[in-house]
Amino acid sequence: MKFFDGFRQQAYALLRIVAGLLFMAHGIQKFFNFPVAFPMPLNPMLQAAGTIELIAGGLIVIGLFTRPAAFIASGMSAVGYWVAHGSNGPFPIANGGETIVLYCFLFLFIATRGAGMWSVEGAKK
C-alpha cells in the first residue's frame, strides 16, 4: 500500500529499537532478577549470554556498532537455541524455542541492514 511506503525507515528504526530493548530485558533478568527472578546461580554460558544480551541489545537500541552487535546477538541466539531448546525436539513451537529463533533471524536481518535512522550511526551522516 502506497500509504505505508513513506514510513519504511521509521518502521525499521522502531523494529531495531524494540528488538534491542527486549533483548536487553533478557540480560537484565539474568543479572538483576528484574522483573522476575532468574534461576541462580548463573553458569558461565548464561553469564556470557546475559553479557551479550545487555551490551549488544544496548548497542542495537542506540544504533552504535549495530552490524557487529546484531551479528553477535544473532550467533548467540543460534547457539542458545541449540543448547537450550534444540535438544528437546526439532520443532521450535514444541521445544519452546520460537522466540530465540525469531531473535536469531531478526538480528541477522539487522546485521545486514545496519542502524538506519534514529541512531548514533545515522547522526554521523
Amino acid letter, residue 29: Q
For 32-58, the DSSP string reads H--SS---SSPPHHHHHHHHHHHHHHH
Cβ-Cβ contacts under 8 Å for 15 (sequence gap 6 or more): 106, 110
Q: Which residue's entry shows cell 537455541?
A: 81
- Per DSSP, the chain holds a count of helices (H) and strands (E) of 7, 0
The answer to whether 1 touches 89, Cβ cutoff 8 Å, is no
How far apart are the C-alpha atoms of 81 and 99, rounded to whole Å? Answer: 9
Q: Which three cell numbers stand for residue 116?
A: 538506519
Q: For residues 16 and 112, what is the distance between their CA atoms, to the nearest angstrom?
A: 12
The pLDDT tens digits of the residues spanning 49-87 come to 999 999 999 999 999 999 999 999 999 999 999 999 999
More confident residue, 61 or 124: 61
3-state secondary structure of 100: helix
C-alpha cell at 40: 541462580
pLDDT digits (tens, 9 = 90+) for 78-115: 999 999 999 999 899 999 999 999 999 999 999 999 99
